[in-house]
Structure formats: C-alpha cells, structure tokens
C-alpha cells in the first residue's frame, strides 16, 4: 500500500513589497530605527502576501474576535482556490476526495474551515474531515503523514490544505527585536496537495520527528486579547543545529540512504539563519537550498503552508529522476523538528 503526491496548488492574496512595508508603515512607527531597518533588510524577504495589509488597515489594536471575523471572511475562498487548483492539476474532481485535512494555526471557528470547504467544494457526504490547529510552522509534515496513512488504508484520494493568515495577527510595533523579526518575516498563503494511492510525482515514504522540550520557551504562539502573539528567540537556529543532522541521518538510515544521496531538499525557511544552519550542519551546497530561499524572498514565512510551497518549487525547478530521494524538513514550537522522506516516482505532467 503506497501514497503518492499527485499535485500541489497554491492560492495567494494580494502582494505587498517589503521595501514599501518598511518605508510607509514600520519605519515611522519604529522611529526610523537603524537597528529595525537592518532586521528588515536581513530577513531575506522581497515581497509577501496579505489578506489585510497594514498599508490599508492597521490591525494591531483589533481584538481577537475582530481578527477572527476577518479570518472567516478570507479563509474559505482562499482555501477553495488552492484545493481546486490542486485537484485540477491531479485530474480529479471534489467528489473523488475521501478525506480533507485542513491545517491552520491562525484562525478558528466552528463549524470549521473544513466544513465550510466541504460545502463550497461539494465533497461527497461521506468524505472524512480532519482539522489540525495551533501546531505552527511544522504542522504540514505530521498532517501529511496522517493523510498518507488514510490513503494507504482506504485506497481513496485525499487532500491536505495548509492555510495561514498571519497578517491577521499583527501586533503593536515596539522595539522588541523578536516582534520586529515577526513583522519582517511572515506572510499569508494557502497550499493544497493531493495524495492518492496511484503513482504520482512523489511517494510518501516515511516521517520522523524530534522535540526538545527544554527549549519550549524559545518559540511560542500565544492567544491574547489582541490576536495571537509570537515570541521568537535568537537562539532557535543554534538549538535546531544540535538536532538537524541526527534527525536527518536517522530518517535516511532507516531506508539505507545517506545525506549525499538526497537529490532535493524542501526546508522550511523560518529565516535566513535557519537555512544557513541547515546548510552548514548537513554540508549542503548553496544551490540545494535555493528553493527555500526563493520562497522566502517571494512569499516570506507563511507558517505551515511554506514547506509545501518549497516542495512545489523543488519539483518544478530541480532535475529529479525516478527513484531519487527528496527530504522535507520543518520547524516550530516545541522546539520541534519534523522530517519527511519522499521518493520520486514520476515526471511532471
């Protein structure tokens, strides 16, 4: 019994240029701070996407309830677009879907986004649904493992949607370095992938995880009266550096593989320093992580959707042959590191 990724589709809200965000919004709020300007310049981001741009409306004083109203307004149409794109690329109809899994840590409602999409997509009434919330940037990979298990067990196609509207959680601009980093990095996106039992582009082979609870306070995502607030320690790359190589070698070793044999790397671009750390610890060439840096430049860090966007970039722009191993890697609160091993099984359509 196997599970294969057949297609990936992404939907994006309007684009916002990083330079414009800095010059017209954040620079005056941060009193033209040179230190803050350096953080924005070093974020590795050229443009991002936002359902609510701070250039149009400043959400920083909105209550969490008001932000959830925006989530309910924007999430369903964006998720619908991403799922339809992925299904169309896979040559499938919504009625073919046996399970829909929705991942999001940026908004909540009940009935949830999964129910809203089941209606708008006109899924079969017996289609199963799963909602995964508040796991953060790494959530796509454990969710994908669950989706793949469903496909193997039920022999029906399934869809994974990662949708994050980080712009809805803009916090008040202060000189706190962690908050400035968050303001410089995060963007909105919805990415869907179709998993089916028949051969596709990639076979989902295995998933691994490492969690270091001793550093749990290094990255947090807390519900407050004014949206969800992130704390981000500058020590995160150092902590991840202690675990990356062991985690990857363990995953590969179980399948008789080594790091140099991997032909594609889809690494979540949590920031330039994290990518530099992964590159150094695994001894990778710079071009190996260009898909990650490209997604960071063009979209920012879109939380759970980002690693799927990078995987799509790897499939489109990396010369891969059937049998080649590909590794995806993502990080988040915990501190948690997830890895997934894929095997190339087909060529682009």
pLDDT digits (tens, 9 = 90+) for 303-334: 999 999 999 999 998 789 999 999 999 999 98
Active-site option among 62, 105, 137, 162:
137
Q: Residue 265 in contact with residue 247, Cβ under 8 Å?
A: no
Which regions of the chain carry the CATH code 3.40.47.10? 4-196, 202-344
Rounded to 5 degrees, what are φ and ψ at 109?
-160, 160
Q: CATH for 202-344?
A: 3.40.47.10
329 to 139, 234, 338, 344: CA distances (angstroms): 11, 20, 6, 17
Q: CATH for 4-196?
A: 3.40.47.10
For residues 208 and 255, give the distance between their C-alpha atoms in angstroms, rounded to a whole number: 12
Supply the pLDDT for residue 235: 87
Rounded to two decimals, what is the model's pTM? 0.96
Q: Which residue has the tokens 């959680």?
A: 169
pLDDT < 50 positions in the chain: none
Residue 137 is among the residues annotated as catalytic for this protein: yes
């Amino acid at each position: 019994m196997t599970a294969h990724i057949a297609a990936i589709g992404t939907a994006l809200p309007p684009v916002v240029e990083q330079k414009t965000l800095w010059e017209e919004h954040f620079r005056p709020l941060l009193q033209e701070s040179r230190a803050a300007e350096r953080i924005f310049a070093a974020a590795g981001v050229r443009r991002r996407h936002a359902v609510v741009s701070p250039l149009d409306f400043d959400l920083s004083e909105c209550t969490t309830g008001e932000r959830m109203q925006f989530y309910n307004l924007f999430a369903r149409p964006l998720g619908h677009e991403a799922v339809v794109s992925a299904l169309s690329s896979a040559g499938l109809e919504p009625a073919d879907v046996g399970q829909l899994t929705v991942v999001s840590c940026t908004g909540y409602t009940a009935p949830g986004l999964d129910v809203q999409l089941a209606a708008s997509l006109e899924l079969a009434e017996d289609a199963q649904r799963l909602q995964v919330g508040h796991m953060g940037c790494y959530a796509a990979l454990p969710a994908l493992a669950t989706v793949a298990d469903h496909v193997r067990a039920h022999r029906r196609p399934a869809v994974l949607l990662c949708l994050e509207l980080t712009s809805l959680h803009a916090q008040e601009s202060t000189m706190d370095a962690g908050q400035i980093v968050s303001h410089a990095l995060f963007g909105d996106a919805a990415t869907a992938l179709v998993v089916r039992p028949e051969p596709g582009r990639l076979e989902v082979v295995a998933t691994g995880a490492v969690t270091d609870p001793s550093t749990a306070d290094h990255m947090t995502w807390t519900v407050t009266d004014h949206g969800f607030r992130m704390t981000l320690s500058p020590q995160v790359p150092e902590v991840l550096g202690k675990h990356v190589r062991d985690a990857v070698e363990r995953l590969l070793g179980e399948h008789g593989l080594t790091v140099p044999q991997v032909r594609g790397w889809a690494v979540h671009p949590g920031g330039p320093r994290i990518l530099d750390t992964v590159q150094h610890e695994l001894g990778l060439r710079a071009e190996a992580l260009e898909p990650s840096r490209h997604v960071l430049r063009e979209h920012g860090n879109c939380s759970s959707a980002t690693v799927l966007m990078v995987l799509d970039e790897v499939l489109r722009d990396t010369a891969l042959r059937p049998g080649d191993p590909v590794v995806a890697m993502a990080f988040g609160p915990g501190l948690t590191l997830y890895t997934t091993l894929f095997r190339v099984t087909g060529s682009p359509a």
